[in-house]
Structure 1
Amino acid sequence: MYENLENVGIAHFDVKSQLPRWVYESAMRAAEKGEQARSAIKDKSMLKQRQMEIREGLERCIGGMPSSDTPLNPRVTGTVEGNGFRVEKVIFEPRPHVYATANLYVPDGLTEPRGAVLLLCGHREQAKHCDEYQTVCHYLVHTGLVVMSLDPIGQGERFGFYDPESKQAPMTSVTEHENVGRQCMPLGDSLARYMLHDAVRAIDYLCTRPEVDPIRIGVTGHSGGGTQTSLVMMYDHRIAAAAPGGFIMNRPYFLLTGKAQDAEQKWPGFSALGFDHEDIVMAMAPRPVRILATTYDSVPIEGPRHTVAVNRRFWEMYGRGEDLDVFEDENVHRFTIPLAHAAAQFFSKHLLGRTDEYSNEEIKLIPAEQLRCTQSGQVIGELENAKSTHVENRERLAKFERSREALPEDERKKRSIEWLRMRVLSDRQHCDLNPRPSGGGEVANMWVIRKIWWSQTGLLNHCLQFFDSKLAGNKLPVTIAVWDGGSSQLEAHAKWIEETCASGRLAMVLNPTGIGPLLPHLNSPTDKPFKRFGMMDRYTDEMMWLGDSMAAIRTYDVLRAVELAAGSSNIDPSDIRLYGSGRYAIYAGLAALLDERVQNVCMENRMNSISDWIKEPFYDETDSLSFIFPGMLRYFDLPDVDRWLAEQGKLYDSSPVSSDFVS
């Protein structure tokens, strides 16, 4: 019965292009802010100030760094002889009971400390002992460098969800990263926090090794390893030289690719501070940097070329312009042999002081099973009380819960609502609503009016207003409904619409940003826009870089819908109610908390709490970024919202529609 209404578009406006355009324009404004700040740097003192701001800004964006004063408790569990070197199998604890596994390549015949390189692996399940990263290690060690290859979280021997009994892991690598990474964000953290800390503690370990000169440590990695390398470049001043691969670009170029970001590449607020990939590189000046790039990469080659070009003048301030360059290989996205060769030459020059030709030692890879640091191949289940990132998130959650509970209730409520108001309202481009009808019709003895209005400059919202045809011309009380899918899911909510109208109320089904007819254009009919790394994840990623979130924008949309209702000639402004269903019910609850014009709110089939979601090891990732307010759990959770709404007399039980609600 509602099928025709579910599929109706909006005339006169290209609403399907508005969200991509709005996100891109917002990103470009942030990029311009960064360009102006970098252009204003005229001398070394200004450069050093910017470098300090980059480090502090990064740390703030990823949630702060864990302590680095806990014992590493390193141990070597075995040694494998290679072709002119040995490989030590190392386990250490970057954080208590968090076990990192690494291979340390040590050249034969060392008589004094020398330069070393930390290799950070990209998204290969085997990580340090896969052929690609083993090969890079061999090229580096054959130059005479000490090399430490580290397993990232969820890879190599660090599968966080490994089951020792079945010897299976239901998720690894990117899938595990995204699973735990999304759960980091309501805590005000990024998965980058843990990956960066692992790398910093690996450098701590290298500094303890007698074979290593602590002032000659470099770092390299490709793809996800390039991301980790970039984090280390900004944060750790001990790095003497860096060769990031398959990551350095800048946001404007990246947006043209239409790709989403991996969990460790989400640094909420980084763009809002005016930082971009140019600043990643700038943070190293004047220390040597070679960007490793492939010309057929999904990371557009224009990005690293541009970033090197705009940064060169900072190295030239020190008379070291030649210490920044980009090496390109005509290839696809991987740490290719030419890139490995280029990295080896670069580090040999800057960490060993050698400019002679590269060693032609034969590369003989070692069987992966011989490089394992554990007997079972996984730290979980073998090492006592081994923690996964999921467990670390739960411990972090417990810490914030204790902090919240320690505050007096009134202070906690005040701080929380102030924080929420700032997240939802701050920096919005407020504009006139300029509402107008966009068609109408009749269904099941109800009149239907479609309306559009401006929620923000450049972002239209849309609703369908249903009311009993016998009440046409009356000023009606209204219930604004927000649910997953908006007006594309009318049939699923037909009973609620009909009962609400039968009670004499106007049912206003809201399509907030990106929902229903406002969903952006699909690349193909088979696209799944709400899947992990799908179209809507891409836009939400960028919003988070800009210090915003889809949840905040849509909560603002609900507030603007309340404003629309309060000023409509056919609506009684003294009786405005909200109804939420599903994951999107969070928008209704938070809007009710912020707007005194809302008389009450009912929420059905929604999450009990964000904390409970974080405690779940497995969940449906589909559209899960849409309900995340980064940092929310440092202030409040959904049960707090329920309690505060109840105190205001606004909360109705989260139960099926009742006469109490619709009367």
Structure 2
Amino acid sequence: MYQVGTMSDRFSPRARFASLLLMPLLLTHALHGQTAKPVPSPGRESLNKELNALAAKETAARRAKVAAIASNADAEARQHEVRATMLRLLGPLPGRTPLNAQVTGSTQLEGFRVDRVLYESQPKFYVTALLYVPDRPNGSDMTTKFPAIVMAPGHAPSGKAGDVAFAEAFARAGFVVLSWDPFGQGERLQYPDPQHEGKTLAKAPTGEHGEAGLQPTLLGNAIAQYMLWDGMRAVDYLTSLPEVDSKRIGAFGCSGGGTDTALLGALDTRVAAIGVACYITSFDALLPSLGPQDAEQSIPNFIASGLDLPDWVEVAAPRPYAIISTTEDMFPFAGATTSEAEAQKFYAHLGADTNLTWIKGPGHHGNLRPILPQILAFFTAHLHPDAAYAKNLPPITDPFTTVLPVLKPTPPDPKLTQVTPTGQVATSYPDAATVFTLNRARAEKVVTPHPKGLLAMQQAVRSVTHAMAIPGSCHLEGLEGSCTLSPSATVSIAGKDIAPGLLELTFTYPGGSNFHALLGSSALSQPKYGKLLLTNEFDKTGEPTPSLREKVLKQSKEGGVVLAMQPRPSPQGNEESKAGVLGEFYLTELRAELTGRTLIGLRVDDTIVAANYLATLTTQHSQPAHTPRLAAEASGHYALVLLHAAVLDTRLKSVLVLGEIINYRDLIADPMPRDAPEDILPGVLKHYDVDDLYQAVGTRLVPTK
């Protein structure tokens, strides 16, 4: 199931059954840790398209619901519903604990001071931040308070250090700025590489977020909750400062920082003005193009719960909001266009249409320098810094006609930006908490119910995996036809002979995705049994490998009808790698989770549909008084799929699981699990664990040495 730790083997013996804004002036895609695009795979592409279609159905229903809003009361009711849904999907927020804030050093620059700040958003969960405090104008009232900005950086390793240029611009314009490191960035690496100072074992910030997000998901919590809470505690810190006006706190961020800002702006009503750059689009535009990108941007069941990206804006209404977009952003500009238009109508229902601003500029992701004057003007208009700072505001010009070359700023001096003694929380404070340790402590308070009886276990499996296939029959003409998927849907089967006794099959779902299989039919005239084999022995085009052909042919000549299948995506293909530790299915699982599905559930469907085919075929070719037994075999990640399928399909009388499948609680206890995303099930530990699957399958399991 999982590769435990950083170096251990994926399976071990089992006693019972062995088996930035990267400087915000830069044009860069490094904000998302992107690598070369993966080689296209028809299996992966067809599955993605099917999941996209599920998402589109949900977003269409949502749009119709929003379009029906006709009054202030309707809009407020929608806000109440959406806010409650968001908080439910995120999971319960931690209680407020002492910030224990401290300033580890200060630097005076021209026009402002920079304090290096450390605070605890949760006990020992240290947040590193920079506080920019403007100098007071000559002759000003020393008791006058400043407006403030919570600033979150994009997905760059530099974290807050990458926001220095923008933070300085805000400070000179009369704003106190708290620029903080999200975990996995700057000085807050969760998986620091002990051999390379300042580097992560998870490759990049998106890898850090993805890896850290796996374990909270098992408890039904989204990793975005940790980002939100860090931001809310940033607001707490600002409100504790005597120089800050707690009624005039805004939030700003770009890219990944835009995500953090969208969360904070929607769910913390103390934030009086919000600016979200290079993030707001629509899932209709995002999924078919860029696809899901990061754990905190892909909250499980978000789309399936009737939500879309403009909901982050609409929940914040009527507070002033700036959607900030660049025309060639990888977060599609077309999606920003439709989302802004919808949000504008929503704001109008609340009598606040003038509070929603759309700031547009040229260029690619994160190209904010041409529209910095408009961004500063938005916050100045709504948070009202002292008029004396107006002289520091850059003039507003047309960003589409003004030539502003994108220059690479000189990296800031670490003496200005480094908060901790070593430059990393992990090596500076041995007692520091991490997402892993915090989640492990939470898991200790979660009581897994361990369902009693097969029916209760089947209900739990369907609730968690969202598997929809039911044991049923097929309508076959020869070896082709259609098989039951659900009471209202079937899967079509087409085949071609590739050798005597071997037939290559393709099972195609109504949504267009499919999986490949190889049928060994030598014993079809009088089968002794049917055997289902879950395997990856198919090449990149979906053709069975020579070794699989030999294996299936040999076993079928021994008297069995053998069906070897590769669960979806088939062929597997690959995807953009956020980190090697995450394997090849991280983004596919995020896409499935957004739509209310899971990769395990999809593969369980494949397994049950294949069992429907095998059961029908062997029964049709057997003597009336003889119904051949069905056996199934799997190893690796497919072993977990088979265990789930065997719980739901009791026709599988002989279930061989090769290698140990560790409990989900064991995964919670692993500091850095490898290759786990394809096995993740949101909220599973609130319902059952792997041992419960073994218990439910019971005597149908084949013991091995």
Q: TM-score, normalised by structure 2?
A: 0.81
1:513, CA displacement in angstroms?
2.6
Query: Structure 2 residue aligned with 1:598, among 652, 661, 684?
Result: 652
Q: Residues 260 and 533 of structure 1 are in contact (CA less than 8 Å); yes or no, is this contact kept in structure 2?
A: no
More divergent stretch after superposition (34-43 vs 253-262) = 253-262
Please name the residue that 1:162 is paired with: 192
Q: Residues 527 and 560 of structure 2 are in contact (CA less than 8 Å); yes or no, is this contact kept in structure 1?
A: no
1:211, CA displacement in angstroms?
1.4
Q: Residues 481 and 579 of structure 1 are in contact (CA less than 8 Å); yes or no, is this contact kept in structure 2?
A: yes
**One-letter amino acid of the counterpart of residue 442, structure 1:** A
The 3 A distance-change label for structure 1 pair 490 and 529 is: farther
Q: Deviations over 1:640-662 (max 9, x none)?
A: 3123322xx1112366xxxxxxx
Separation of aligned partners in 2, 1:592 and 1:420: 11
Residues 353-364 of structure 1 correspond to what in structure 2 (within 5 A)? 357=390, 359=392
Q: Deviations over 1:520-548 (max 9, x none)?
A: 7x99xxx9999789996544322211111
Does residue 273 of structure 2 align to residue 234 of structure 1? no
1:399, CA displacement in angstroms?
3.2
Residues 311-326 of structure 1 correspond to what in structure 2 (within 5 A)? 311-326=343-358
Query: Structure 1 residue aligned with 2:610, among 561, 582, 588?
Result: 561
1:492, CA displacement in angstroms?
5.6
Does residue 107 of structure 2 align to residue 80 of structure 1? yes
Q: Secondary structure at the match of 2:532?
A: strand
Q: Secondary structure at the match of 2:292?
A: coil
Separation of aligned partners in 2, 1:614 and 1:570: 47
Query: Structure 2 residue aligned with 1:509, among 554, 564, 571?
Result: 564
1:68, CA displacement in angstroms?
2.9
Q: Secondary structure at the match of 2:316?
A: coil
Separation of aligned partners in 1, 2:69 and 2:704: 55
Please name the residue that 2:428 is paired with: 382
1:441, CA displacement in angstroms?
3.5
Q: Secondary structure at the match of 1:567?
A: helix
1:336, CA displacement in angstroms?
2.4
The 3 A distance-change label for structure 1 pair 384 and 21 is: closer
Separation of aligned partners in 1, 2:512 and 2:627: 27
1:606, CA displacement in angstroms?
5.5
Q: Residues 103 and 117 of structure 2 are in contact (CA less than 8 Å); yes or no, is this contact kept in structure 1?
A: yes
Higher relative contact order (CA 8 A, sep 6+): 2
Query: Structure 2 residue aligned with 1:481, among 511, 533, 536?
Result: 533
Residues 78-477 of structure 1 correspond to what in structure 2 (within 5 A)? 78-109=105-136, 110-130=142-162, 133-162=163-192, 167-171=197-201, 172-334=204-366, 336-352=368-384, 357=390, 359=392, 367-400=413-446, 403-404=447-448, 407=449, 411=452, 416-424=457-465, 430=486, 431=488, 433=490, 436-442=493-499, 447-456=501-510, 458-467=512-521, 469=522, 471-477=523-529
Q: Residues 290 and 330 of structure 2 are in contact (CA less than 8 Å); yes or no, is this contact kept in structure 1?
A: no
The 3 A distance-change label for structure 1 pair 42 and 358 is: farther
Q: Residues 145 and 352 of structure 1 are in contact (CA less than 8 Å); yes or no, is this contact kept in structure 2?
A: no
Q: Secondary structure at the match of 1:373?
A: coil
1:461, CA displacement in angstroms?
4.0
Separation of aligned partners in 2, 1:72 and 1:16: 46
Does residue 682 of structure 2 align to residue 634 of structure 1? no
Q: Residues 574 and 597 of structure 1 are in contact (CA less than 8 Å); yes or no, is this contact kept in structure 2?
A: no
Please name the residue that 1:8 is paired with: none
Q: Residues 115 and 132 of structure 2 are in contact (CA less than 8 Å); yes or no, is this contact kept in structure 1?
A: yes
Q: Deviations over 1:54-80 (max 9, x none)?
A: 222122222x13323211111111111
Q: Deviations over 1:309-343 (max 9, x none)?
A: 11112222344322212111212211522343322
Q: Deviations over 1:600-652 (max 9, x none)?
A: 2111145423333443334544xx43222222122222233123322xx1112
The 3 A distance-change label for structure 1 pair 573 and 94 is: farther
Q: Residues 516 and 570 of structure 2 are in contact (CA less than 8 Å); yes or no, is this contact kept in structure 1?
A: no
Q: Deviations over 1:242-275 (max 9, x none)?
A: 0001110000111231433212111111111111
Q: Residues 270 and 276 of structure 1 are in contact (CA less than 8 Å); yes or no, is this contact kept in structure 2?
A: yes
1:116, CA displacement in angstroms?
0.9
Q: Secondary structure at the match of 1:303?
A: helix
**One-letter amino acid of the counterpart of residue 465, structure 1:** L
Please name the residue that 1:549 is paired with: 598
The 3 A distance-change label for structure 1 pair 15 and 481 is: same
Query: Structure 1 residue aligned with 2:89, among 61, 76, 100?
Result: 61
Does residue 638 of structure 2 align to residue 588 of structure 1? no
Q: Residues 556 and 562 of structure 2 are in contact (CA less than 8 Å); yes or no, is this contact kept in structure 1?
A: yes
Q: Residues 249 and 300 of structure 1 are in contact (CA less than 8 Å); yes or no, is this contact kept in structure 2?
A: yes
Separation of aligned partners in 2, 1:186 and 1:112: 48
Does residue 589 of structure 2 align to residue 540 of structure 1? yes
1:502, CA displacement in angstroms?
5.1
The 3 A distance-change label for structure 1 pair 163 and 535 is: closer
The 3 A distance-change label for structure 1 pair 239 and 508 is: same
In structure 1, the gaps of 5 or more residues are 1-13, 656-663
Please name the residue that 2:53 is paired with: 25
1:117, CA displacement in angstroms?
0.7
Separation of aligned partners in 2, 1:360 and 1:582: 60
Q: Residues 147 and 248 of structure 2 are in contact (CA less than 8 Å); yes or no, is this contact kept in structure 1?
A: yes
Q: Secondary structure at the match of 1:283?
A: helix
Separation of aligned partners in 2, 1:322 and 1:175: 39
1:380, CA displacement in angstroms?
1.1
Q: Deviations over 1:142-194 (max 9, x none)?
A: 11111100101011111122367864543352221122223332232222111
Which one has the bigger helix percentage? 1
Separation of aligned partners in 2, 1:165 and 1:542: 34
Q: Residues 219 and 243 of structure 1 are in contact (CA less than 8 Å); yes or no, is this contact kept in structure 2?
A: yes
More divergent stretch after superposition (22-31 vs 162-171) = 162-171
Separation of aligned partners in 1, 2:426 and 2:159: 16
Aligned-residue RMSD, C-alpha: 3.1
Separation of aligned partners in 1, 2:491 and 2:197: 60
More divergent stretch after superposition (390-399 vs 574-583) = 390-399
Q: Residues 466 and 597 of structure 2 are in contact (CA less than 8 Å); yes or no, is this contact kept in structure 1?
A: no
Please name the residue that 1:658 is paired with: none
Aligned residues: 619
The 3 A distance-change label for structure 1 pair 573 and 103 is: farther
The 3 A distance-change label for structure 1 pair 334 and 318 is: same
Separation of aligned partners in 1, 2:360 and 2:81: 30
The 3 A distance-change label for structure 1 pair 127 and 613 is: same
Q: Secondary structure at the match of 2:655?
A: strand
1:16, CA displacement in angstroms?
7.7
1:306, CA displacement in angstroms?
1.7
Q: Deviations over 1:365-395 (max 9, x none)?
A: 8523322111111111322410122222333
The 3 A distance-change label for structure 1 pair 456 and 640 is: farther
Q: Residues 583 and 677 of structure 2 are in contact (CA less than 8 Å); yes or no, is this contact kept in structure 1?
A: no
More divergent stretch after superposition (487-496 vs 173-182) = 487-496
Q: Identity of counterpart residues, as a percentage?
A: 26
Separation of aligned partners in 2, 1:422 and 1:161: 33
**One-letter amino acid of the counterpart of residue 498, structure 2:** G
In structure 2, the gaps of 5 or more residues are 1-41, 137-141, 396-408, 470-484
Q: Residues 117 and 147 of structure 1 are in contact (CA less than 8 Å); yes or no, is this contact kept in structure 2?
A: yes
Please name the residue that 1:4 is paired with: none
Separation of aligned partners in 2, 1:317 and 1:193: 29
